Structure 1
Amino acid sequence: MKPIFLSLLSVLAFLSCGSDDATPTPTETMYFPPIGSSAWETKSLQSLNWNPSAVQPLLDYLELKHSKSFIVLVNGRIVMENYFNGHSATTGWYWASAGKTLTSTMTGIAEQEGFLNTNNKVSDYIGAGWTSAPIAKENLITCKNLLSMNSGLNDALGDDVAPANLQYTADAGTRWAYHNVYVKLQDVVAAATNQTFDAYFNAKLRNKIGMEGSWFQSGFNTVYWSTSRSMARFGLLMLNKGKWQNDQIVNETYFNKATTTSQNINQSYGYLWWLNGKSSYHLPQSQFQFTGSIIPSGPNDMYMALGKNDQKIYVIPSKKMVIIRMGDAADAVNPALSDFDDVLWQKINALYQ
């Protein structure tokens, strides 16, 4: 699902990211909710010295902006968990493009198990002719290019990833463009592991961290559907650099590559993760370079899974925090990233003041 972004982000004022009051003490251990149980430890607002008067304005804004769920974890423990408009902890919802980060993680797992090498060309795994580009140009496209969104394929032809719709525009690595072609990585993983992507995902990621949910086909996209708590479990895994308790699900080397700038064109993009706090950024459907951070009021070290209709995973290492937002589009334009993010973070920051 290709999000549409608002250019007004480029003129938003830089705002304070708040104090470090929400950061747990160094002696507090990271908590992981048990597998196969609804039990989940909580942490009080008072213990974090949060401002209780800022809670209701935040919740009012979330409800006004068509949210269905909002979860805040600090060091793995639930600090806030709120549901709106008939949604509940057991209700499923779609991740939209926030699920790209699941595909990125599975690519890393398949690489660490020796099934693939992200430096290899895509056609090594799914055969030649998967695009309509000249074969010499197709052979330039590596798995890493799909992870980094710099395949060089035309991003203006819609989400269909049939060969006829994957047309050459520039050499791989020379042009950044948000493109649904990343889904071919699911075919790469399936071919390399000799099993369905769903089966490999369930065995190597979902079941190991206690997620629920499943993949379904929506148009030309494969979309993940789960509860908000399952999304929070994945966010917690990524806060802990790919490790769940004592089990390193995806190795830290790959995790670090995924959550840092992956190419020299869009500073704010890793391996299917958006990165805050960089000096510049590109947005989908535009070759324009914006100056400054994507979400000016958000923490500079935050990395993000962002999906259509404002599905969000925010991971903030400096605060040991994960924030989940699921719901309908905050505004009529249906962006994955908009001024909603910046205003939301202003209200989150007010919790720490």
Structure 2
Amino acid sequence: MRHIRKTAGVLAALIMVCAAAPAFAQSAMQDVLDYVRSQNTTGFLVIREGQVLAEANWPAPPGAGNFQAAFVHGTTASGALLEDVASQQKSFVAVLAAIAVDKGLLDVGQPVSRYLGAGWSKATPEQEAAIRVVDVLTMSSGLDEGFAYVAPPGRVFFYNTPVYAVTKRVLEAAVRRPLDEITREWLTGPAGMSDTGWRRRPAALGDVGNPTGLVTTPRDVARFGQLVLDRGRAADGRRVVSEAQLAALFERSAANPAYGRLWWLNGGAYAIRPGGRRADGPLIPSAPADLVAALGALDRKLYVSPGRKLVVVRLGAAAPDKTFDETLWRKLSAALEAR
């Protein structure tokens, strides 16, 4: 098994289950792989302390024509699908915004109108002037999906993809360069994410107010997760984002303790999910309390646990098991404890 820092091609080998593990640990991890495969998964990776413990890629599940038409953009040489990872892109954009702050090009405490000009919303000029970039990053802009004013900014959590998409325009205006150039130079290039890029979404995806998708692979998502786990450093040791700005992404929102700046956070007293449903307790009770997550539609998952030095990636179509997160973490925890 390869350590992910020992090669410029991070995660270069396809490893199903670490052969160096005891037989009972291999069996437990195989149980995890069997479960995720049964849940319409196309790509799955488990990395602990920089080592790949398990990796698998599968074709799109039978009957997933809509999934393929809307989200799949080809296949890599290793057999992984190139997928639009839906709202996982938000967490990538959050890191780009943090880098822009590091470079002195963006101030998230300033009104959005400083970067986009007046009239970007349907709020009154006074209401709009109070909406800061950080309010958009924390899904507490106070706007509805049609950009109409509903509540004062910073007070109410509302998972709002069309308003989130404004962040990409803010970045381009602040940096004065296209988003794809910023992404390649600041993030995907340094992190070795060679299969990741922005693409115009096909008509099959429909208009969700966010017309560009981030297309990537499980290995590249894992590289991104490892960058977060390594406190903002790439595999070659280069500093990509400062520890201070990375930590700011994971500060709990006053409006939703399960959310930071375009990242989901475990371990809070309650969680408000997309759609507005509130539930007491952590986001994923069986997962580590320190877990941070980049989540997207159809159960796209990037989980990072600093305490366990763990990165987990799941891509694919929607899981039929409605308790997928809980079941996965119970099985995965058992496999990790068996090692």
TM bucket by the smaller chain?
Answer: 0.7 to 0.9
RMSD: 2.2
Q: How does 1:85-96 map to 2 (within 5 A)?
A: 85=59, 88-96=78-86
Q: How does 1:21-36 map to 2 (within 5 A)?
A: 31-32=4-5, 34-35=7-8
1:344 paired residue number: 328
C-alpha distance in structure 2 between counterparts of 1:38 and 1:230, whole Å:
9
Q: Which of 219, 226, 240 pairs up with 2:230? A: 240
- Displacement after TM superposition at 1:182 (Å): 1.2
- Displacement after TM superposition at 1:46 (Å): 4.1
Q: How does 1:98-247 map to 2 (within 5 A)?
A: 98-154=88-144, 157=145, 165-180=146-161, 181-211=163-193, 212-218=195-201, 219=207, 220-221=209-210, 222-244=212-234, 245-247=236-238
Secondary structure of the equivalent of 2:165? helix
- Displacement after TM superposition at 1:331 (Å): 2.2
Residues 42-81 of structure 1 deviation map (CA, whole Å, 9 limit, x = unaligned): 7936458972221232222111110001101112221101
- Displacement after TM superposition at 1:40 (Å): 5.4
Q: Which moved more, 1:42-51 or 1:198-207?
A: 42-51
Q: Is 1:297–1:345's contact at 8 Å kept on the other side of the alignment? A: yes
C-alpha distance in structure 2 between counterparts of 1:41 and 1:99, whole Å:
25
Q: How does 1:61-72 map to 2 (within 5 A)?
A: 61-72=35-46
C-alpha distance in structure 2 between counterparts of 1:317 and 1:49, whole Å:
27
1:320 paired residue number: 309
Secondary structure of the equivalent of 1:145? helix
**What residue identity is the alignment partner of 1:210?**
G
> Structure 1 residues 307, 93: CA separation in 2 closer, same or farther (over 3 Å shift)?
same
> Structure 1 residues 45, 297: CA separation in 2 closer, same or farther (over 3 Å shift)?
farther
Q: Is 1:33–1:39's contact at 8 Å kept on the other side of the alignment? A: no
- Displacement after TM superposition at 1:277 (Å): 1.4
- Displacement after TM superposition at 1:243 (Å): 1.2
Normalised TM-score (structure 1): 0.82
Q: Is 1:301–1:317's contact at 8 Å kept on the other side of the alignment? A: yes
1:299 paired residue number: 288
> Structure 1 residues 117, 39: CA separation in 2 closer, same or farther (over 3 Å shift)?
same
C-alpha distance in structure 2 between counterparts of 1:55 and 1:129, whole Å:
53
Give percent identity, aligned residues only: 32
Q: Which moved more, 1:265-274 or 1:238-247?
A: 238-247
**What residue identity is the alignment partner of 2:332?**
I
**What residue identity is the alignment partner of 1:189?**
L
Q: How does 1:210-289 map to 2 (within 5 A)?
A: 210-211=192-193, 212-218=195-201, 219=207, 220-221=209-210, 222-244=212-234, 245-261=236-252, 263-286=253-276, 288-289=277-278
| 5+ long unaligned stretches in structure 2 | 61-74, 202-206
Residues 292-351 of structure 1 deviation map (CA, whole Å, 9 limit, x = unaligned): 01111111111000100011100011111100001000029xxxxx52111111111120
Q: Which of 48, 68, 71 pairs up with 1:74? A: 48
Residues 249-277 of structure 1 deviation map (CA, whole Å, 9 limit, x = unaligned): 1111111111231x222111011110111
Q: Which structure 1 residue ranges, 4+ long, deviate > 6 Å from structure 2?
A: none
| 5+ long unaligned stretches in structure 1 | 1-29, 158-164, 333-337
**What residue identity is the alignment partner of 1:148?**
T
**What residue identity is the alignment partner of 1:171?**
P
Secondary structure of the equivalent of 1:306? strand
Normalised TM-score (structure 2): 0.85
Q: Is 1:89–1:228's contact at 8 Å kept on the other side of the alignment? A: no
Higher relative contact order (CA 8 A, sep 6+): 1
Residues 12-32 of structure 1 deviation map (CA, whole Å, 9 limit, x = unaligned): xxxxxxxxxxxxxxxxxx843
1:84 paired residue number: 58
Secondary structure of the equivalent of 2:81? coil
Residues 60-114 of structure 1 deviation map (CA, whole Å, 9 limit, x = unaligned): 2111110001101112221101122367544311211111111100101111111
- Displacement after TM superposition at 1:33 (Å): 5.8
Q: Is 1:119–1:142's contact at 8 Å kept on the other side of the alignment? A: yes
**What residue identity is the alignment partner of 1:329?**
A
Secondary structure of the equivalent of 1:315? strand
